[in-house]
Amino acid sequence: MSGDPRPGRRFRIGLTQWHATRDVAQNLRTACELIEKSAADGAQLVLLPENGLMLGTNAQMRAAAIWMDGPEIARLSAAARDGAVTVVLGGAKRLVAAGEPARNTAIVIGPDGSVVGGYDKIHLFDARVGGQSFEASSVEQAGSEPVLLRLEDVTIGVTICYDVRFPELYRRLAMSGAEVLLVPSAFTQVTGRAHWETLLRARAIENAAYVVASATVAGPDDAFATYGHALAVDPWGEVLADLGEDLSCYRVLDLDLDTVTRTRDRLPVLRGVRPAAYAAEPRVLTMSV
């Protein structure tokens, strides 16, 4: 969608992608390097992918689960502070209490290095894909509430990966003011080839919002192959960036937030939402043939 050339509200965001392994230390080095580069290019927020710190089997990821006050977050906090940039660790297995299931949390770190809070993934990936079973609920506990991040004058909805298949969550975030929707992911190759771009573009179009989805990408000896193709989509559904299958890369995007307003004025879908009507039990029309 062509934009108005006049200057307006702008937001610069870092889209990232890398091959996440079982080596947490190496993954942390990659994350911090991409944070540094994105910040140097003027990013105000850097989005890291889901499972970017450790990608393995459910058991391996549970064993490597982090604490909010642990050394991994301390390292990312230092990188955020050094770059004076907000960082969203797009999804990590997080321990809440000893002996309890982990949460899959998108952890938000401010430009001063402080941990602002996080979003616990609501929809857990319990599915069988390509002959492989993904039973996330065996090691994770689902979250129960949507989360918005307010960064200066920008309202951002935070989601994680499998959430993208549940449009009602994104509509709720958009109705609450979200102009940018984050979907950090570790999408499987099988579902990625079939659905990734379609789902992300749909969430952008139906909510007239930017969608930014950092991602992990497949490499050798993975517990499961992930799709890559970290993507950014504008409110009209046009793809702004696709990072392909690069094993370590980033791109800083300049989002024109006035485009959100113009798109919502042009197609006022959000003003037409009727929750009360949807809550009614469907009336059934029956006929014989």
Query: Would you place residue 5 in the very low, low, confident or very high pLDDT band (cuts 50, 70, 90)?
Result: very low
For residue 286, tell me if it sits in a domain. Answer: no
For residue 2, tell me if it sits in a domain. Answer: no
d(CA 247, CA 219): 8
**Above 70 in pLDDT, residue 14?**
yes
Is 152 catalytic? The answer is no
**SS3 assignment for 15-52:** EEEECCCCCHHHHHHHHHHHHHHHHHCCCCEEEEEECC
- Mind listing the pLDDT tens digit for each residue in 24-51? 999 999 999 999 999 999 999 999 999 9
Mean pLDDT of 270-275: 96
d(CA 35, CA 206): 31
**SS3 assignment for 247-278:** CEEEEEEEEECHHHHHHHHHCCCHHHCCHHHH
Is 72 catalytic? The answer is no
For residue 177, tell me if it sits in a domain. Answer: yes
Here the CATH number for the domain that contains residue 98 is 3.60.110.10
Is 161 catalytic? The answer is yes
**pLDDT at position 18:** 98
d(CA 212, CA 46): 10
| From 72, 93, 140, 161, active-site residue | 161
Domain count, the chain: 1
Average pLDDT, the chain: 94
Mean pLDDT of 151-165: 97
Contacts of 224 (CB under 8 A, 6+ apart): 132, 134, 188
For residue 288, tell me if it sits in a domain. Answer: no
What is the bridge-based pairing of β-strands 248-256 and 10-18? antiparallel
| From 50, 72, 140, 179, active-site residue | 50
Q: Residue type for 27, please?
A: N
**pLDDT at position 133:** 74
| From 32, 72, 93, 121, active-site residue | 121
- Mind listing the pLDDT tens digit for each residue in 116-130? 999 999 999 888 777
- Mind listing the pLDDT tens digit for each residue in 205-261? 999 999 999 999 999 889 889 999 999 999 999 999 999 999 999 999 999 999 999
**Above 90 in pLDDT, residue 151?**
yes
Mean pLDDT of 126-139: 79
- The reported pTM is 0.94
**Above 60 in pLDDT, residue 167?**
yes
For residue 1, tell me if it sits in a domain. Answer: no
For residue 98, tell me if it sits in a domain. Answer: yes
**pLDDT at position 7:** 62
Residue 171: give the domain boundaries. Answer: 10-279
Q: Distances from the Cα of 68 to the Cαs of 93, 117, 130, 193, 239, in angstroms?
A: 10, 9, 34, 34, 34
**H or E element that contains 132:** strand 132-135
For residue 3, tell me if it sits in a domain. Answer: no
What is the bridge-based pairing of β-strands 239-242 and 231-233? antiparallel
Mean pLDDT of 264-289: 95
For residue 5, tell me if it sits in a domain. Answer: no
- Residue 248 burial by CB count (10 A; 0-12/13-18/19+): exposed, middle or buried? middle
